[in-house]
Amino acid sequence: MGTAQIAILCGGLGTRLGDLTAATPKPLLPVGGMPFLDHLLLELGRFGYREIVLLACFEAEQVAHFARHSVAAARFGMTLKVSVEPDRAGTGGALWHARDLLADEFIVLNGDTWLDVNFHRLAALRCDGDTLAAMALRRVDDPARYSLVTFAQGMVTCFECGVADQGAGYINGGVVACSRELLTHLPQTGALEQLVWPQLARSGQLAGLAVHGFFLDIGVPHSFAEAQRTIPARHRRGAVFFDRDGVLNVDHGHVGSRDRFEWMPGAREAVRLVNEAGLYAFVVTNQAGVAKGFYTEDDVLALHAFMQDDLNRAGAHIDAFRYSPYHVDGVVPAYARASDCRKPGPGMLTSLMGEWLVDGERSVLIGDNDSDLAAAAAAGIAAIKYSNGALDDLVRTLL
């Protein structure tokens, strides 16, 4: 599975922000020293998304310029394409005009909203339920600015617009996983919120996932001001560093191929728990089998790609993999040496902590060997030794 593509709505006028958006698309407004859209791309990048379609209209050339120079896109090697509406066509029309660029499965994302959501779980919900779309839903105290949503048993049963004075309730969180079949329901002009989502709700084709993470819509002045402080802070988070063999998968001895790979009980669920707790999930694994000639680095990378895809199907993901191919007793000369990145050395951990904004005080390593614990201690983070049982049960106690 694995939804490969994100479509980001960037075409709104943002009139509630006054002069701020008089000549600048709302998603390109500076937040914490960089365009808000770059913050979104950094989040999407860690979930593994590389294909992005920007749906532009107002000041579309600025969006195109951003696509050519995005810092976040460069970091993750993203491909950014821009679809421009010939006239103002609304959110539904924006998707319709981009139809030739859209994949069989994609996620529609509001370009002015941050929602902490497990994108892969949302995509898995849509696929497993075989609906046209699955919407992330967020409870807010005052839904008057939004479309009020009711849902039951995982399905949106009612989607309204302009509902005011209803008290706390669930709203569209601005993240919707879609099947390409949705395109047959799109208008050439018109809003998804008025013409598409209500129709799908009535026909039983709109799944819903309640999420409770951080939510901020920058579309009004006080929220935009709050974003200057809170959005940059979202990138700094705790992490769970997973050893691989003996923790995530059964240690059959130098596991370097898919046919010898077997998940530990509760491993995929454990990774998903970490994702949904808002923490980074990393893998740090000694792979001396490379130095000893049992398999190659390409084999390690292929196995990690398989793990990531399998995790995506389970609604989970690893933010980054690190492995050490070195061993002093290796028979392959390029790898037959000592290295600080081989545990008990802390190199893999400190590398990740330098590349990502990791809060060490909120981080932990889960390993099955004393060398894992020693690496964590050298990196200045906590560690716990895992021996058996369901890994997700252990992670629940940590969270």
Active-site hit among 217, 243, 319, 392:
243
Q: Is 309 a catalytic site residue?
A: no
| Residue recorded with tokens 């989040």 | 43
- Among residues 38, 112, 217, 245, the one annotated as catalytic is 245
243 given a catalytic annotation: yes
Buried residues in 255-269 as b, exposed as e (16+ CB within 10 A): bbeeeebebbebbbb
Contact predicate 181/187, CB 8 Å: no
Q: Specify which residues 284 forms β-bridges with.
A: 322
Query: Catalytic residue numbers?
Result: 243, 245
